[in-house]
Each structure stands twice: as structure tokens, then as C-alpha cells.
Structure 1
Amino acid sequence: MDTKEMGAQPPAPDEKPPGFHDAEISKPTAEHLHEIDDPDAGLSEAEKATIDRRLLRKLDLRLIPWLSLLYLASFLDRTNIGNAKLDGLQQALNMSNAQYNASLTVFFVSYSVFEPLTNVLLKRTRPSLFIPTIIVLWGICMTTMGLVHNYGGLITARWFLGLAEAGLFPGISYYLSCWYRRSEFGIRMAIFFSAAALAGSFGGLLAAAIAKMDGVGGKQGWAWIFILEGLATVVIGVLSYWLVYDFPDRAAFLSEDERKRVLRRLAADKQASGLREHEFKTAYIWASVKDSKTWLGCVIYMGADGALYAFSLFVPTIINQLGYSSTRAQLLSVPPYACAAILTVSIGYLADRTRQRGLCNIFVSLIGIAGFCMLLGSKTAGVQYAGVFLGAMGIYPCIANTISWVSNNVEGVYKRGITLGLMIGWGNLNGIVSSNIYRSEDAPRFYPGHGVVLGYLVVFLFGGSVTQYILLRKENRRRLRGERDHRSEGLGSEELEVLGDKRPDFIYTL
């Protein structure tokens, strides 16, 4: 990248800067660090550190709060059907248990099928256009769920809801990784994902309040849950056209010097994603598909995500079966989610500081395993409710931590985007299983449902994390001993850049 380009004013939203083939970020490698003008040349290290902290605070304030709100709306809209069920959805639409579960399942089919494609669409358009548009679309789908009169209408709306929501989580996961150093990404991802736990907490309170509108305008309480939350999402989507920004090299809220600083700090972090990878090639797909880290990441993520959806869709029903009324069950679902949100952020901070994301996954998964053992083994309502707490605390932190772990260890702009898309898509495909394991005929103990979730946590989340940790640790030792140095022999800076995380000097985050 030419230094003159770096010093130019940011192009208008509908223009592409010279030399760029798409709207993606250019993240130069350490070898290209000298090509970017240093706006802080001549300053002392203390002065540079002060400027860097100020820049980081600015990025955090502009990016994290609004993106977290978007994910809160997303998760609320996909899981509020569990709250609506408690307020009479199934009876009002004359649905059997199998039809209700099918309406849950169909969301994950469209969501998972289209998810791997969305990161490519994000980069071929612009975040400031792609993200707000899909939010408005799924807000409309959510609103129509409150207007349906039968099972066919509900399942159709759920299909399109999954299609519209497919681009948000993998898109923002990738988008945030283009702004922060690897050691800074985990806590931001954790704060972003904690919105899912807050959605569960907030959703219970909101549903209990909205249900009081039963009969207003001739609509039942469950319908108003969908209508009001859908309309709120549309408003959020429209505002996002002004509050979601493009990648750092085009972000309007950054000054010329600040854009240089962002790119320089990414370069110093050895993030090689994108200086020359402007044109999409099928080789980037194969680089991801042939990487064992991609598939182990899929295994780990399915362990967390399959358990997440089973928990979030059915926790109001589980609590209701402990003997509480629907309104009280909605309210009692709030505290477990609040604790999960706090632990999610805490684990994100701890993993960033220690750079031990694998160990954090392993430790947290044991909390979830203990919780579901309590749900399976005790008949006491108090013990089971405590198990719900541990279950939430053992699932939610692992989602954000796994995304951060994989993002840290995959280099190359398209490869990372494709890997995240595959992993998140596969994880969400397990929502099909999660939608069908808590059956009404298994109430009140739900042995099959609890047993399947426990299996996901033990085999996939815990077992996959242990395996990935061991393999990455072995590979780091080989690189430090120089056993991979032959990969870089005779290669120029461009060719080294193409190697991505296969470079011998790229050390994996454990």
C-alpha cells in the first residue's frame, strides 16, 4: 500500500479507494510496517502509549456498544418463541408438539445453510450497508410472526428470519477481528456476545411485561411479543445505517492519523490479513477446508452452540416445569442469564491477559457439565434451579472464547472469514438437534434433553478443547525449535504473507 494512499482523505461511501478491489480492510504485515507513515514519529514511548490508549477507547465507544445491541436484538428475536410458547402460542395456532419443534428447527436450517456465505457478501459490499439491511429484513420477519394465524405462516416466517439473521454473528465476529490486536479481541468479543445472555435475561422481563397486553387490538399476548420486538428491531436497523462503520481504512469517524495508527498496530501484531488479498480466490476456501484447526474449531463450537440453543430455547419451559407459573418462570429465567453475562466478560478479560483461551474453555465447560449433572441427578427444585445457573455459566462464555481462539489462530482475510463462517454455520446447524430434544412428553425431568446437552458439553466442548490445546502446543514447540523454518526458505514478503498462519514465525494462541 502506498503511503500517499494512507494519507488521503477517506473516500465517499459509494467510492472505492484507488488500488482496492473491494471494501475490505487492508491489514499490512510486519514486513510492510515501514510503508505506513508513522504519525507519532519523534514522540516518546510514554506519549505513544497515551495516544494508543486514547485511540483504543475511541474504538471501543464507537464499535462495541452498538454492535452488542444489534446482537442482543438478534438473539432476542430468535429465542423469544420460547417465551411466546409460555403465553399460549402453541395452543392459539393449534400446533402439535412436533409442529412446534419443527418451527424451531426450520430457523436453524436456513440460518446455517446461508451463514458460511455471508462473510464474503460482507466484504464484497460494505459493513455499513450489509449489516443494517439484514437487520431491517429480520425485523420485518419478526413482526410478521405476530400476525400469523396458523402453523404454515409461523414456519414460513421462521425460515426467512433464519435467512436474514445468518449474516450478523459471523459478520461481526470477523469485522471486530479486523480492528483489534489478537490480545485485545477476546474481551471485546466477550462483551459483544454477553448480549446473548442479556437477551435471555431481558427477554424474560420483556415477555412478562408485554404479555400483559393480551387482548389489546384483538391480539393475544404472545403475538404482541413478536410484533413489538420486531418493530423495535426495524428501528434499530434503520439507525444502523448511520451507526455501523466500514473497515478501518474507510471508517469516517477516524481521522487520517488515527487510520494510520490502527493499521500500524495491526501490522505490529503480525496480522497479515489483507494487504495483497484483495481478489477472492477459491484457493482461500481450500486453505480453510484443508486446515485441521477449522474442523476442530467446528467440533468445539458445536459443543457450545448445540448446548446454547437447547438451553436458551427451553429454559423458560424447564423452570415452568419446576412448579412455577408462566409469568414467574419468565422472571426466574433472568438471574441465570445475568450471571452468565458477567462470567462471559470475565473470561474474555482473563483469556486476553493470560492468552490461555484453551484452558479457559476447558475450565468453564466443567462448570456447565456440573450444572447438567445436577439437572439430571436431582429431583429437588432448588438443586435443579442451581443447575440452571451453572448450565448458563458453563455455556455462554465458551461461545465468545471459542470464536476468539479460532480468530487468533487463523491468518489471512478470506481464510479467517471462511473459517468463521464454516465453524459458526456448523455450530448453528446443531440447533436442529437442540430444537427437538426437549419434548413435552419428557416433562418434568427432561432426561433425554439434559442427557444430550451433557453429551455435547463432555464430548465436543470439553474433549475438543483439550485436543485442540494439545495439538497447538505441540505445533508451537516445533516452530520454536525451528522445525518449520523450511517453509519460508527463499520466499519474499508477498509469498510469506500468503502462508498466513502457516508461517514458521506465527505462534498460535493456546
Structure 2
Amino acid sequence: MTDRQNIEMAAANDTKQADIDTEDIEAIKASHVTGSDKAAQLLREAGHTVVVTPEDDKRILRAVDLRILPIILVVYCLQSLDKTSLAYVSIFGLIQDTNLKGQEYSWLGAIVYVAQLIWQPVIAYFLVKFPIGKFIGVMVLLWGATLCCMAAAKDFGGLMATRFLLGTFEASVAPTFVAIVQMWYRRAEQTNRNAAWYSMLGVVNVLGSLLTYGLGHVKSSSLRPYQIVFLFCGAITVAFAFVVIIFLPDSPVSARFLKGDDKLKSIERLRMNQQGISSGQWRWDHCREAALDLKTWLWFCLITAIAIPSGGITTFGPLIVKTFGYDSFQTILFNMPFGAVQFVATLGSAWAATHWKMKSPLIAALCIPPIMGISILMAIPHNADHRAVLLFAYYITSVYPAISPLIYSWSGANTAGDTKRKVTTAVLFIGQSVGNIIGPNLYKTTEAPGYARGLKSNLAMFVLVAVLAGAGAGLIFALNKKHERERVRVGKAAKVEDLSMATDRHLRKEGEAVNQLDAGGVGERAFEDLGDLSNEDFIYVY
């Protein structure tokens, strides 16, 4: 039986494929399944053409969401809780009991990011070479154990050592999740998924406040409240690490929960991303392309600029609220709406970016509320007489966390090639670590209640982020024009439809195969493990 007969029989047996044009099937059949990506090897070994209908796409997306998202949501929630536990326990005697002086508390907030900065290049290599699911599971186990050990620290030296180890093991989390989203989802789906796991920061600010409030009331003759918080959070993390190791698959290529052709379809539905999935091969030419790519340094500058206020406010947020005239327990409770605003802003902006298929305008727009909020915090005296206005300013400032996942998604959607993706992500998180190191050190406990230097620097950074977002949109426009000229030069159409950004509704309306290739062969190089600058078919998104 010929390949064409196989295709026709498959179409006849599945009425859901009736709307797919014969020309689309022939185009897919004619595609080259070449390259070093593991996806290309699996498709080549399958020996038959794989067509992904909109119905297939929807079914597989649901299966992937149910398996992948719960795990990464819980892990990021635990990581955020563990990392920010320092800010919560700061008002329960940690500073006094461990005799912290001067900038020592600020350095406890910053040392986590020093460790992350140091380890990002190594993490990038590990993400290419090691099975992602097992790797992140082991890291979760180690950081949970470290947090438990942190309860035994009695002074600045002990806290610094355990916080450095905490940062070392947590350094892998966000880069791994960016990689997971890239390898499992179409580009149109990535922004909402990145926002979903990042929104756990908001959940942590709510649940963490409640948890700390409850644990802070626990009476113990041998343990201080902050030690109880460290032990409780660490124990939960250690337990969940085994769930990650057992249930998180390493990639679509090796996923056991996808049966039959669904594994092949989960790969083919990503063809028009033009990004590949996983190669397991470290490529120095990708490193060179990443280093010479202006986009790489745009992402670096953007994430550094937003991380500076993020690092400062994350570490000093509860202390700032306390200057409004609240006691320790009231401070914890009044920090909860900050998390709720974070959560809504993160998911809402992701929905808007997906709907409008643009991230740069939203990044600029999201800078406006924190600019207003910080301006108010700088102008109004921090005392009980102005609580309502100060809380309002603090809460509208809390919109800023929605910016980071948009930058992750903007970077991830505009980078191709396994090694280049991991290297670019490493540069991104090095920038975030730099910002998070600088941020807390712009605040001093001796500058309470106004914290003038920290707030002024944060205001400047939000303005800079808005400017960089506009510059990034201009760069993307220029790169798309360059690729249009390249396509014309090799005999392809200048303008092509980007199916990786097509919505489910559009695909069902048009009856198109999700992995359809046009007559010019756009998409045939998707699994050749090419960098985006080297693939004329790659379409950049705004």
C-alpha cells in the first residue's frame, strides 16, 4: 500500500479530518524530516505521515495541560514560598535573634541570586544534556532539604551559607519551566502557560501570608516562629520532589502518558513553532549565534531592569507595609491583597497578550500602575495617618510581576534551536539574578520609614522597561523584514501565515491542519535544530 493510500484511508476513517485539504496532506507528506532534533528522529522512525487536525490539537493540549501544568504550578509555588519565607519571618524576630546588622539582612535576600547568577551557565548545559523531568525533581529535593537545614542557622554566617545553597538548587526552576513550555506548547499557547506558573507568586503572597500568620502563633519552647516556618515549608518541598521525579515527563518524545499516534501528533503540532523540541547535543554555533544576537541582550536589559524593583520589593515589602503603622500580624494580613493583585494582573495580561498576539505594548502599559504607585509612596509620609492612600499605592505597584512572564514568553517565542534556547534563557536569568542582587541592596533598614533611595531607583527602572519594550518591537519588525527578503531569495513567499500563533477557533474555522506546510515548503526545516537567525522560515512575534 502506498503512502498516499495510507493517508487517504486515515482520512476516511476519521471524519474529523474531512475539512483538511488534500493539498495540505500532500504538503505534509512532502516535508523533510531531517535534522538532529530527537523529534525528527522519532518522526523518521514512525515511517508514516502524521496529520494533526484542530480536534487532535485540542485533545492533546488538554492531556498535556492535565499532566504538566499541575506539577510545575505546585513546584513554582513551593519555590516562591521557600525563597520569600525570609521576607515573612523578618518580622518575627529573625533579625534580632541572629543579630543581623547593617546590610546583612539585605545580603540574605541577595545571596540567593548570587548563587543563581553563578550557576545559570551550568544549568543551561544540564538542560540540554540531562532528562529535564528527573533533573528538576532532584533539584527540588535538594532545595527542600536545604530549607529544613536553614532552621538550624544561628547567625549571619549560617544563614548566608544555607541561603546560597538554596539559590544554587533553585537556580534551575524557572529556566526549566521556560524550556518545558517551549517543548510542549505552540507559541500561541506559551504566554498563558508561562503566566500560569509565574502567577503562583501571587498565590504565595496570599497563602504565604496566611501560613506565616498561623505558624507565627504556634507556641514552642524549643523553636522560634521563623524556624517553624523553615521546617514546615522545607518538609512539604521534600515530599513533593518525589512526585516530580515520578510523574513529570522529560519531553514529548519520551512521554508515556501519550499513546499511539498522539505522541507523534504532540510533536507535529509544534512544527510551525520552527523551534525544535530537544536534541541532547550541545552546539557551540548556537552559543555564538546567541551571543551575537541583539535580541539576547534586549531580553537581558529588560529582565534586569524589572528585576531590580522586584528584588527590592520582594525582600522589603512587608517591612514597607509595617511602616504604615501596623503590628507584625497586621502586616502579614495586609500583604495578602498585594498577592491577589499580582495573580489577577499576571493572568489578565497573559490573556490580553494571547488575544492581541503582542507582548511589547502590554509590557509598556504594565509599567504605568507601578510608576503611579511608587510616586505616591515617595510623596506621602509613611505613618498611620495615611494608611489608606499608602496601601492603595502599594497595591497598584503590585501589578509589576505580570511583566516578567511576558518577557519570558517574548524571549522564548523568538528563539529557536535547542542549545540557543537554553543559552538565551540562561542569559535572561543571569540578568534577573543581577537585578535581584542590586534590588535589595538599594534599600537599607536604617532608611525606614521612607526608603527613599530604593523607591527612586525602582521608579527609574519602570520607566526604562517601557522604553526598552518599544525598542524591542522595532527590532522584531526589522528581523521579520530580513526573513521576508531571505524567503524571496530562496523562492518562497515573502508573507506566510504563522500557524504557531493561530487560535483554536481560527484553525477549526479554516479547517487547517495544525502542522500544514505551504507549497513553498515553509516549515520543512522546523526540526533541523536551527537557530532562528539561520532559518528564513522563522517568524518573529511582537
Instruction: Please give the range of the TM-score, normalised by the shorter of the 2 chains.
Output: 0.7 to 0.9
Equivalent residues in 2 for 1:411-430, closer than 5 Å = 411-430=416-435
Q: 1:385 aligns with which of 388, 391, 401?
A: 391
Equivalent residues in 2 for 1:415-494, closer than 5 Å = 415-459=420-464, 461-480=465-484, 482=485, 485-486=488-489
2:290·2:423 contact (CA, 8 Å) conserved in 1? yes
Identity across matched positions, percent:
21
Per-residue CA deviation, residues 132-163 of structure 1 (Å, 9 max, x unaligned), is 10001000111111111111111110111111
In 2 relative to 1, CA 471–34 (structure 1 residues): closer, same or farther, beyond 3 Å?
Answer: farther
- 2-side partners of 1:354 and 1:237: how far apart? 37
2:87·2:316 contact (CA, 8 Å) conserved in 1? yes
1:27·1:266 contact (CA, 8 Å) conserved in 2? no
- 1-side partners of 2:526 and 2:538: how far apart? 15
- 2-side partners of 1:76 and 1:167: how far apart? 16
Q: Which residue of 2 aligns with 1:301?
A: 303
Q: Which residue of 1 aligns with 2:220?
A: 215
- 1-side partners of 2:461 and 2:249: how far apart? 37
- 2-side partners of 1:21 and 1:509: how far apart? 24
Q: 1:120 aligns with which of 100, 125, 130?
A: 125
Whether 2:258 is the aligned partner of 1:258: answer no
Whether 2:330 is the aligned partner of 1:328: answer yes
- 2-side partners of 1:33 and 1:405: how far apart? 31
Deviation at 1:188, TM superposition (A): 0.6
Which runs of no fewer than 5 residues in structure 1 stay unpaired? 4-19, 42-47
**Structure of greater relative contact order (alpha carbons < 8 Å, 6+ residues apart):** 2
2:129·2:281 contact (CA, 8 Å) conserved in 1? no
Q: 1:245 aligns with which of 226, 246, 249?
A: 249
1:200·1:312 contact (CA, 8 Å) conserved in 2? no
- 2-side partners of 1:213 and 1:498: how far apart? 56
Q: Aligned with 1:109: secondary structure?
A: helix
Larger Rg: 2
Q: Which residue of 2 aligns with 1:16?
A: none
In 2 relative to 1, CA 196–488 (structure 1 residues): closer, same or farther, beyond 3 Å?
Answer: farther
1:306·1:453 contact (CA, 8 Å) conserved in 2? yes
Per-residue CA deviation, residues 238-271 of structure 1 (Å, 9 max, x unaligned), is 221122111001011111311111111111x242
Q: Which residue of 2 aligns with 1:504?
A: 536
- 2-side partners of 1:253 and 1:166: how far apart? 28
- 1-side partners of 2:413 and 2:140: how far apart? 27
Deviation at 1:236, TM superposition (A): 1.1
2:311·2:438 contact (CA, 8 Å) conserved in 1? no
Q: Which residue of 2 aligns with 1:109?
A: 114
Q: Which residue of 1 aligns with 2:404?
A: 399
Deviation at 1:213, TM superposition (A): 1.7
- 2-side partners of 1:241 and 1:273: how far apart? 24
Counterpart amino acid of residue 506 in structure 1? F
Q: Which residue of 1 aligns with 2:507?
A: none
Per-residue CA deviation, residues 474-499 of structure 1 (Å, 9 max, x unaligned), is 3324444x26755899x995998635
Per-residue CA deviation, residues 35-82 of structure 1 (Å, 9 max, x unaligned), is 8744558xxxxxx32232121111111111210110111111111101
TM-score scaled by structure 1?
0.88
Q: Which residue of 2 aligns with 1:284?
A: 286
Counterpart amino acid of residue 339 in structure 1? V
TM-score scaled by structure 2?
0.83
2:139·2:172 contact (CA, 8 Å) conserved in 1? yes
Q: Aligned with 1:97: secondary structure?
A: coil
Whether 2:51 is the aligned partner of 1:51: answer no
- 2-side partners of 1:169 and 1:493: how far apart? 28
- 2-side partners of 1:404 and 1:436: how far apart? 28
Number of aligned residue pairs: 477
1:197·1:338 contact (CA, 8 Å) conserved in 2? yes
Q: Which residue of 2 aligns with 1:60?
A: 65
